[in-house]
Structure 1
Amino acid sequence: MKNIQIIHQREILMLKEFIRICDKHNLIYYMLGGTLLGAVRHKGFIPWDDDIDIGMPRNDFEKFKSIVKQEVTYPFYCENDKDISSYKLAFMKFCDSETQVYWEHNNEKIVVDLWMDIFPIDGMPGNILKRKLHEYRYLYSRMMANLAQFSNIVNLNKKNRPFYESLIINIARKLNLEKLLNYNKWQKKYIEVISKYSTSEKYAGNYTGAYKLREVVPSDYFGKGEKLDFEGLKVNAPSKYKEYLTAIYGNNFMQLPPIEARQAHGLEIVK
């Protein structure tokens, strides 16, 4: 069996356990990003993709965080800032303790438990002035929180960064800003900023994702959700999932990208 097939099989088991907990406690969730694209275009994983992305409205996200330790069954567990004091991400990782993978980070291969990402979905005001101010505060606090944990979170191998991002990263490396910035202060500020507005606002989205503000869309795109097929499961998707995918990937999201652009995390099974 191929490496990617084993990863997909284990991730489906993780997803089933996650859905079981959400259904038991009436928690709202949605497929996001490449997972949603895979459901729409392939009725499952994008063939070369090796991860699962899920989003939850902030209230449901926090509720899940508070109950998961008591609810989750072996071999699964959840990494988050409530249960692990040293955890340094603004989203959760739902993990499989029986499946280890090599993950390449900044030219170093490390062994980690296989995971899927669970992101918070927060609001954005419709008022143009409030929105622009919130966008600025978000981008600034995210940058500072990332610089405060530079070696842990900044991917130096990421391609096609905007010029200003590459410039900031080079300056941060040379000045060793990670040593000068207080991580706890800036991470707290970052989470305070992104969680300020609820999904009842005109816009909402995943502020912690790779696409930043491109993932903030009209909040009615999420709605009550719609079940889509994903590898034989019925999994929640945003109500207006086509509009959501168009906002992030463009009008041609159903077309396959060229072979050279078909990239994933590059995970390799250890055991």
Structure 2
Amino acid sequence: MTELRNIQLLQLMIAKEVKRICELHKIQYFMIAGTLLGAVRHKGFIPWDDDLDFGFVRSDYERFLEACKTDLPDEYFLQTWDTDPEYALPFAKIRLKGTHFVEKNTGRAHLVEDGIFVDLFPFDKCKNPDKRQVKTAFYQRLLLMKNGYDIAHDGGMLKKAVYAGIKAVSLFFSRASIQRTLQKSSMKDNGSDCAYLCDHYERPIQSSLTESLIPIPFEDDAFLSFSSYDEYLTVTYGDYMTPPPEDKRENYHGITRVELSKYKMD
């Protein structure tokens, strides 16, 4: 078994735990991005991919985080701003303890856990995704730099200079104040009657997509996602059923260290 396949199967194990908790508490979730693309095109992981992404509308996301306090087994770690002070992302990860799966951009951040993970994104109402993105993108980068993440490692001199400026600005703000500003910006349209939802990356989707979810086969299981998955995937990827050329088949997560420990399979 290749290392990548081993990683995928461990991520699948985490995903099944997410599903179990959601079903126990009647919480709605949905596959998004490459996870949904893999489910539809490959009936599982995209063969060269190394992550899993699930989305929740904000209210279900908060319920899931609360449920994890009592129902997440000890071998897993729920990583958020509240459980890991140096974690700088406005979405949660569930990590597998006893493993290491280190992303390049974590830089000098001293995370409580850095194991194999599944990403969990809250989706909030958004009246104007483009306008909101300008503000949230700045504060997201401000928090990353504040927490020691290296987000300019692959950029040229101009990019590095810009991020050096952002890092200097971050000295005048506390982590808590940046987090509050980010959260307020992301959630300010919740409760309004608008057609769009956005995740951390300000990728807008039609709110109506989350109103009809169906199980879609993924590996040896099935996970919920949009019944109108064709609409979502077409907007996101275009001709999504045609795989990219072989020289473009790579992941972009910048993993620099992998240790599977007792979870390594032959």
> 1:177–1:260: structure 2 CA closer, same or farther, 3 Å change rule?
farther
- The correspondence of residues 103-182 of structure 1 with structure 2, limited to 5 A, is 103-105=103-105, 112-125=114-127, 131=128, 135-150=130-145, 152-153=148-149, 155-157=151-153, 170-173=161-164, 176-182=168-174
Separation in 2, partners of 1:185, 1:77: 25
What is the aligned counterpart of 1:247 among 217, 221, 235? 235
Post-superposition offset of 1:83: 3.2
Separation in 1, partners of 2:254, 2:2: 13
Question: Residues 138 and 193 of structure 1 are in contact (CA less than 8 Å); yes or no, is this contact kept in structure 2?
Answer: no
How many pairs were matched up? 253
> 1:249–1:152: structure 2 CA closer, same or farther, 3 Å change rule?
farther
Separation in 2, partners of 1:238, 1:61: 17
- The correspondence of residues 1-271 of structure 1 with structure 2, limited to 5 A, is 1-105=1-105, 112-125=114-127, 131=128, 135-150=130-145, 152-153=148-149, 155-157=151-153, 170-173=161-164, 176-198=168-190, 201-206=194-199, 208-209=200-201, 212=202, 215-250=203-238, 252-264=239-251, 265-267=253-255, 268-270=257-259, 271=261
> 1:57–1:145: structure 2 CA closer, same or farther, 3 Å change rule?
same
| Residue identity in the other structure for 1:203 | Y
> 1:183–1:266: structure 2 CA closer, same or farther, 3 Å change rule?
closer
Post-superposition offset of 1:36: 0.7
- 1:44 aligned counterpart, secondary structure: coil
- 1:180 aligned counterpart, secondary structure: coil
Post-superposition offset of 1:85: 4.2
Post-superposition offset of 1:239: 2.4
Separation in 1, partners of 2:212, 2:131: 30
Identity %: 27
Separation in 1, partners of 2:86, 2:254: 26
- 1:121 aligned counterpart, secondary structure: strand
Question: Residues 146 and 153 of structure 1 are in contact (CA less than 8 Å); yes or no, is this contact kept in structure 2?
Answer: no
Q: Tell me the alpha carbon deviations over residues 6-54 of structure 1, each in whole angstroms, 9 at most, x when there is no partner.
A: 1011111101111000000010100011101100110100001001001
> 1:233–1:158: structure 2 CA closer, same or farther, 3 Å change rule?
farther
**What is aligned with 2:264?**
none
| Residue identity in the other structure for 1:149 | L
> 1:253–1:70: structure 2 CA closer, same or farther, 3 Å change rule?
same
Structure 1 runs (4+) greater than 4 angstroms displaced: 166-169
Question: Residues 76 and 96 of structure 2 are in contact (CA less than 8 Å); yes or no, is this contact kept in structure 1?
Answer: yes
> 1:117–1:172: structure 2 CA closer, same or farther, 3 Å change rule?
same
| Residue identity in the other structure for 1:243 | E
Structure 1 unaligned blocks of 5 or more: 126-130
